[in-house]
Chains A and B, each alone.
Chain A
Amino acid sequence: MEVTKKEKPLIVSISPHIKSEESVSRIMWSVNLSLMPALVMAVYFFGPRAFFITAVCIISAVLSEYYMQKVLKRKVTIGDGSAFLTGLLLGMNLPASLWSLNPFTIHVPVIGSFVAIVITKQLFGGLGYNVFNPALIGRAFLLISFPKLMTIWTEPTAAFVALDAKTTATPLGILKEEGVEKLMEVFGDKINLYMQLLIGHRGGCIGETSIIALLIGAAFLIYRGYITWHIPVSFVGTVAVLAWVFGGKGTGLFTGDPILHLLSGGLILGAFFMATDYVTCPSVKKGQIIFGIGCGALTILIRLKGGYPEGVMFAILLMNCFAPLIDRGFKTKVFGAKRK
């Protein structure tokens, strides 16, 4: 029986033998890219400090992951872009005022990144194993540890600013402390208020202010299929409905301002970029809608009744706990199974 001489051995492994182009790196770096418009607008409004804080967060996050993986003797995976993304998201959730030499506050972003990467992600097992959104835990930690520093909001200007900028309050802060009238006093009329909120000309965290820029990035992600409408629409929709029903301050039910709530605070950033984090949200689409509704309800609850003016961060973190349970409850039905 003649045997063919083969110079090169053939690879033998299990089916399927072909793969799609998708990869974890491609997804992570695409999300990083989609956040760039918002970062650019942040620099435009808050000055180079916005870039520097974010850069410190990113560098700290990547270095934290590198050293933690070395210490734990795991494969170093900083190239996949997930630590970069955590750092970027954390940076975008911090006030621009944190870039200050006097008083010195640069250690704050570093600590936040450390908590996000080392404690929330790596100590739980690394990518894929974390229960909570790492950037949000980092931010929550900082808010609780440095409550004053984390609530000094730089006043946005339309030019690159000098080293010390004036401070202001966020629209939601004004709304909570002083009411709608004061908000109108600051912004003039409703239309101007909405326009300013849309562009990002208001106090707030670095990445949350420019709604337009965030939506551009989100549109890119949706176009590429990296996020779907389920969580953002159910999250934002619930906030809108509940804000309309319950948001009226002293004017009764169904008199709230949904648009104000949609455009303020960290809602758009949270609904499109943070609640949609694969690892910490349900993986079944129907469950994602419940998750989004829960996030929206908790956000409004905290905004209207809680002690903080903004509730997105805690809402998402609380719903993160429920994600595995939601997946369990919405387990898919096998093909051909009889409907109960």
Chain B
Amino acid sequence: MGLSTFKGGIHPPDKKELSADKPITEAKPRQRVVIPLSQHLGAPCKSGVTINQEVKKGEMIGEAGGFVSASVHSSVSGKVITIGEFPNAMGKMVTSIVIENNGEEEWTILKDTPDYMSLSPDQIKEKIRDAGIVGMGGAAFPTVVKLSPPKEKPIDTVILNGVECEPYLTGDYRLMLERPMEIIEGLKIVMKSLGVKKGFVGIEDNKPKAVKTMEEAAQGQNNIEVCALPTKYPEGAEKMLIKALAGREVPPRGLPMDVSVLVQNVGTAFAIYEAVRYGKPLIERIVTVTGEGINNPKNLIVKIGTLVSHLIEECGGLRDKSVKVIAGGPMMGFAISSLDIPVTKGTSGLVALTEGEIVHAGDFKPCIRCGRCIDICPMGLMPSMLSVYSEKGFYEGAKEYDLWDCFECGSCAYVCPSKRPIVQLIRLAKSMTKP
């Protein structure tokens, strides 16, 4: 298969050395967890519990709110103290269930399925649905919906995304080093659920150890190929990954299923394995707590609902020089205003940035037409034109430059010598137009 990479892309310093060699450790259990009823793309869940109700670990506390939705489960055993509005990473108030941890770690009844490979596709999907699994790469799209493409769009290739191209984040890397077998089994389960014959795992070549462990785990599976890809941001963007591994270009505004491909994050594959094999719902995930502004960076396995402040404390606290904390990675993540927000299914990392690294909004120059943004845009757009049109209020004009094909990777703003907030201007134009 062609190992062509996409045209463009940038090379920010990857900063992975801060946490790459820190094995995954369990975050300290805390007194309470705050579980939002909406931590995924799609309809929010409906609460299925009442105040003072005793719940077990893994018990469903929120029912999926529609077809495109995912159920939520308690990540601890204990008692529901309150159901109310709490802020999420984006500052939005979301209905959340607060559960007091009784420290017992008492699991609800789980169904063990040792012969999981003999399950039918529908049985597999049911287990994934029951486990409330969503995409763990950050988008948090309900996985069972992704695994149910319309009949007109059959899938012939599954790709696991182990690229982790965002600087600082190392959670997927550690998972591939420590649990490669489970990830490959997860891939096999996904392929079984779709009747797919070919699977790939894409890993950036700055992670040679992970390429090795995954290759070893995939030995003997002749329809699964582990590939090292050139290290470049955003190689992990699914359209870029599909081009690199399958040689196909997803059409503009299209989805991977339009070229018969399905992409899943390695963390999601791991969660799928745990769900199908052991019946475990999605109640914890790996979070890389890192950054120049953190005293002791770590890769932690964190119960959903744990507060960010607790994790920061567990990692030695913020250094004085830290000025910004990002939920996610520094290129596409969200700057949080308060540390008292819960970790959700899509929180891949917490990055504490320092003064020298960040961009100060408001202090930008006009576009000098240097063309750097055009050269590196992975989607082949002209971000300079988009930014100028938006700046001058010509939002409809920006659509002529394929405004809605931008997936806001941030490469353009990263390279801009005038430090223009290009992504912000693009989002502004999008908010003023329809696709």
Interface residues of A, Cβ cutoff 8 Å to B: 1, 3-4, 6, 8-20, 22-24, 26-27, 77, 80, 125-129, 278-279, 281, 283-285, 331-338
Can you give 26 A-B contacts (C-beta < 8 A)? A4-B340, A10-B338, A14-B361, A14-B427, A16-B423, A17-B330, A17-B335, A18-B12, A19-B413, A20-B415, A22-B415, A127-B366, A127-B368, A128-B367, A128-B369, A128-B418, A279-B369, A281-B369, A283-B370, A283-B374, A332-B382, A334-B252, A334-B380, A335-B250, A336-B239, A336-B249
> How far apart are the CA atoms of A283 and B387 in the complex, in Å?
14
* A17 and B371 contact, CB distance less than 8 A: no
Q: A6-B339, A283-B374, A336-B239 are in contact. Are A16 and B366 (CB under 8 A)?
A: no
Cβ contact of B252, chosen from A23, A278, A336, cutoff 8 A: A336
Is B331 in contact with chain A by the CB < 8 A criterion?
yes
What residues of A have a CB within 8 angstroms of the CB of B353 in the complex?
A: 17-18
A-B contact count (CB 8 A): 171
> How far apart are the CA atoms of A331 and B374 in the complex, in Å?
10
> How far apart are the CA atoms of A336 and B366 in the complex, in Å?
30
Write the chain B residue with the least CB distance to A126: B366
Cβ contact of B332, chosen from A13, A16, A23, cutoff 8 A: A16
What residues of B have a CB within 8 angstroms of the CB of A12 in the complex?
A: 91, 324, 335-337
Cβ contact of A15, chosen from B323, B371, B410, cutoff 8 A: B410
Cβ contact of B417, chosen from A8, A14, A27, A126, cutoff 8 A: A27
Counting chain A CB atoms within 10 Å of each CB, which of B91, B326, B360, B366 scores highest? B366
Is B314 in contact with chain A by the CB < 8 A criterion?
no
Interface size on B, residues (CB 8 A): 73
Interface residues of B, Cβ cutoff 8 Å to A: 6, 10, 12, 32, 34, 91, 98, 167, 239, 243, 249-252, 254, 309, 313, 323-326, 330-340, 351, 353, 357-361, 365-372, 374-375, 377-382, 384, 401-402, 405, 408, 410-411, 413-419, 421, 423-424, 427
* A18 and B382 contact, CB distance less than 8 A: no
What residues of A have a CB within 8 angstroms of the CB of B371 in the complex?
A: 278, 283-285
Interface of A is mostly: loop
* A335 and B6 contact, CB distance less than 8 A: yes
Q: A10-B336, A283-B371, A284-B371 are in contact. Are A19 and B421 (CB under 8 A)?
A: no
What residues of A have a CB within 8 angstroms of the CB of B332 in the complex?
A: 15-16
What residues of A have a CB within 8 angstroms of the CB of B334 in the complex?
A: 15
* B340 and A19 contact, CB distance less than 8 A: no
* A335 and B368 contact, CB distance less than 8 A: no
* A338 and B251 contact, CB distance less than 8 A: yes
* B417 and A10 contact, CB distance less than 8 A: no
What residues of B have a CB within 8 angstroms of the CB of A332 in the complex?
A: 374, 377, 380-382
> How far apart are the CA atoms of A336 and B240 in the complex, in Å?
10
* A17 and B326 contact, CB distance less than 8 A: yes
